[in-house]
Structure 1
């Protein structure tokens, strides 16, 4: 299922106004993926890929090329295993269902120790934009992403 989120906002908060500690985990997962990629989630769709950071990360993960997400400015100066583990943890944090996300205590353990095994992530929640937003100039999209209104878009 595809849901709408905005920036760091968890899908359950964006769609239903429900907030919990797992909402913070979602936000942290987005932050991990932003750090790895060097791109902001809410501006990622401005790229030639025309998709959000979470869907791009998922596509790279499923294709077996998660290292492609890595910010080009830090390529060559990283531990491949650490980068892939961080992407893996980020994907676990941005799971659509809050019950499938780890707690922050577990995230800390996963980041701190390779002895903690990681579950396989499922497809994360994706950000959808309507056709009108796709054609908006960049500055209008950025302004729109800062608005407090969150309008859910459903697949047709």
Structure 2
């Protein structure tokens, strides 16, 4: 089963503040442990929501509404994610519990979500999951171009 460990944004991540070098070493060790166990599928930190755009469909069949970031913290923007392979939700949670404070400054929040796969996500996967995967790939490309992160 695949799980996404969604790292929620904080005031520090939204301000673009980098965690210290100790945090970078701790996260590198965590990623190495995941990779060594064969559990790490993908991971990335996201730029602050000020660099993003939100497209909403408030009315069924209506025109989309485009809003440029930054987004209010109440909307819980993402600061990053890890996509992992785990045998169960308990194992995914155990990996999440091993992650250092994801913000590096306190207030970090990790949401553990299982990906819809097979019969469970057949109709949903057709457009929602593909859109999510495309968005994540776009974010990964953007992060590769901007190498000013740990």
TM range (shorter): 0.3 to 0.5
Higher relative CO (Cα under 8 Å, sequence separation at least 6) belongs to 2
TM-score (norm 2): 0.34
Larger Rg computed on CA atoms: 2
The answer to which structure has the higher helix fraction is: 1
TM-score (norm 1): 0.33
